[in-house]
Structure 1
Amino acid sequence: MGLDYRFILITQESYRDKLFEYVSKNGSLDYGGCASLHFEMDSFIFKYLEGGYDWRPHYDKAEIERFIEPNGKASIGCIYISIKKLDGPNDEIEVSFTAATSDMSRLFEDSISISKWFTDLSMEINSTITYLDLEDDGARIIYFKGLPVRLDLKGDSHLGNLGSNFFDIVKEFSIRYEHFRE
């Protein structure tokens, strides 16, 4: 079984239509929940398109060009989109964008352009929090309440390792990190 990394956005149910407008404007979506999204080209996307994540890269210009849109953006898909309603009083939904292959999962982890695309979407739909779920390798928070961030939580059982110490760790770091001092 391969990697199934996914970007997860938490937002209000009322932003559902705006979410699909953004996806339609910046890609395409079929009726089965499979999207092809258009990202600015970066070196990781180029590497992915030429098969660089494969054990046997291929350098076929004609094959790569069919994934490049007229505006120069790369079309990456199939990315599976699913939405589930979260329990609680806040009327929130969890929107998942799941990579279809292990190679695409690695691309999600590496690409600056893809991370920016999801940060921009998060701003558009007023996401509370957006993160990349790296399965057993942890999670990467990329957006929190209006601000782009990057917080990597690494390792097998990453949250279990932090447990109740997480807030103490953040507090101790914040009072000692020179950029947080006034």
Structure 2
Amino acid sequence: MGGRWISAVPLSSEQEPASNAATSSNAPTSTQPEQPQLSRRNDDYSPEGRHTFQKMLRARAARHARIRFDLQGVEIMGLDYSYEIFMPAQNIAGALAELAELAPRPHRVPPLTLTMPGGDQIIVPFTSNFKSEPAYCSTSGMLELDTSIMFGVDDAVREFFEVRDSELDELGRIAIGYVYLTVRFTPALHPHYASLQFTAATSRMSRMFERSASIRAVFTGLTVAGGGVCCVLDTESDTLQICWLNGRPIQETVPGPRFSNCPDLVATWPGQDRRQSQSKRPGEPV
């Protein structure tokens, strides 16, 4: 029994039921800073709205913009909180395999074949830019996936989603998506480490990322399973929250009493030294 999909953006047109009729395209043009309620229905969006979502989200990823949409596809501003996991580059394929085990069952999209740098292949139950076409990561330093992940339900999750018991799987988890994953094979901090950055799709989901111990446990657990050295939560503030470091949970910030800047944090990773690190925040574009 799988958890029910909680959708923040629409599925692609190929996945829509044929009976879904287009909704009104006369959407209001004013933008508001507050994110509306997430939709539980995939048929709340017109074909034009789906096209707008997909086109604009791809543009957002390309230029690192802060773009979100209301139910009519109107652009609004929102929060982009994210968890980022750092690990040796050779561990990425294994981490993606562990992530695939956290996907809802039965799988809701066709399998996606990924070719890793070096030629290894892995199949995941997600899409890349809302498509299931094979992706060749050996030709790019970055991979983008649209994921849905099973999370345990705690009070913080219930605060942001009206969870029904019928939506829970046998482990008491619920599917939440989309969660946008960006894999960087050569992140700014060090060329021998890679990173997986999981970004919330909406402001409401961002706040849940920050407050839910269950959400944090999934990402720190994935850090352990994937052989990661560090997991941080970025809340778009002046500090990063460190959740996991070198094999144990931790509650520190950068900057903070222990780490005055990111190079100080990176210097604690295996195989690092201060000369190799750069004074960039995790997740920042090179």
TM-score, scaled relative to structure 1: 0.72
* Number of equivalent positions: 147
1:67, distance to aligned residue in structure 2 (A):
4.2
Q: Verify the 8 A CA contact 2:102 2:149 in the aligned structure 1.
A: yes
SS of the aligned residue for 1:71 comes to coil
Identical counterparts, % of pairs = 25
**Deviations 1:37-71 (CA, angstroms, capped at 9, x unpaired):** 11111111112222xxxxxxxxxx7xx45642243
Q: Verify the 8 A CA contact 1:8 1:131 in the aligned structure 2.
A: yes
Q: What is the root-mean-square deviation in Å for CA atoms of aligned residues?
A: 2.4
Identify the residue that residue 218 of structure 2 maps to in structure 1: 117
1:136, distance to aligned residue in structure 2 (A):
2.2
TM-score, scaled relative to structure 2: 0.47
**Deviations 1:97-145 (CA, angstroms, capped at 9, x unpaired):** 0000000000000000111111111111121211000112532100001
Q: Verify the 8 A CA contact 1:45 1:74 in the aligned structure 2.
A: no
Q: Verify the 8 A CA contact 2:230 2:244 in the aligned structure 1.
A: yes
User: Which has a greater percent of helix?
Assistant: 1
**Which is greater in Rg?**
2
Q: Verify the 8 A CA contact 2:182 2:196 in the aligned structure 1.
A: yes
SS of the aligned residue for 2:237 comes to helix
Q: Tell me, yes or no, if structure 1 residue 10 matches structure 2 residue 86.
A: yes
Identify if the C-alpha distance between structure 1 residues 87 and 142 changes in structure 2 by more than 3 Å, giving closer, same or farther: closer
Q: Tell me, yes or no, if structure 1 residue 76 matches structure 2 residue 176.
A: yes
Q: Tell me, yes or no, if structure 1 residue 34 matches structure 2 residue 134.
A: no
Identify the residue that residue 142 of structure 1 maps to in structure 2: 243
Moved more, 110-119 or 69-78: 69-78
Greater relative contact order, per chain length (Cα 8 Å cut-off, separation 6+): 1
User: Which has a greater percent of strand?
Assistant: 1
Identify the residue that residue 101 of structure 2 maps to in structure 1: 25
Q: Verify the 8 A CA contact 2:127 2:147 in the aligned structure 1.
A: no
SS of the aligned residue for 1:135 comes to coil
1:79, distance to aligned residue in structure 2 (A):
0.2
Amino acid at match of 1:6: S
Distance 2:170 2:190 in 1: 44
Distance 2:203 2:189 in 1: 33
Unaligned runs of 5+ in 2: 1-76, 105-124, 129-144, 262-286
SS of the aligned residue for 2:221 comes to helix
1:94, distance to aligned residue in structure 2 (A):
1.6
